Amino acid sequence: MPIPEAKTFHVQGMHCQHCKKVIESMVGKLSGVESVNADLKSGTVEVRYNVEQVDSEAIEGAISGAGYDISK
């Protein structure tokens, strides 16, 4: 049985719809990601994913790889 998890990442540098689409596309390509929602107003990206297939480090890597910084 898959183990779902939801995590919110605080992302710096998202300013427009293009930023939102890029992040959602990059994270959404990861195997095990069920949903991605980038919120420009709050500067957050909420991700639901299967922890047996992908971990938060891989998601952070996809966000960073798209050119955005994650606040810790």
| E strand map for the chain | 4-12, 33-39, 44-50, 69-71
Average pLDDT score, the chain: 95
Q: For residue 1, name the pLDDT band (cuts at 50, 70, 90).
A: low
> What CATH number does residue 36 fall under?
3.30.70.100
Number of domains in the chain: 1
Print the domain residue range for 21. Answer: 16-71
User: Looking at residue 45, what is its pLDDT?
Assistant: 98
Q: Is residue 6 part of a domain?
A: no
Q: Is residue 22 part of a domain?
A: yes
**At residue 35, does pLDDT exceed 90?**
yes
Q: Is residue 5 part of a domain?
A: no
Question: What percent of the chain is predicted at pLDDT more than 90?
Answer: 93
The distance of Cα 19 from the centroid of its chain, to the nearest Å, equals: 12
Q: Is residue 48 part of a domain?
A: yes
Angle, helices 17-28/56-65, rounded to nearest 10 degrees: 140
Span 41-61, pLDDT tens digits = 999 999 999 999 999 999 999
Q: Is residue 45 part of a domain?
A: yes
What's the whole-number mean pLDDT along residues 14-29?
97
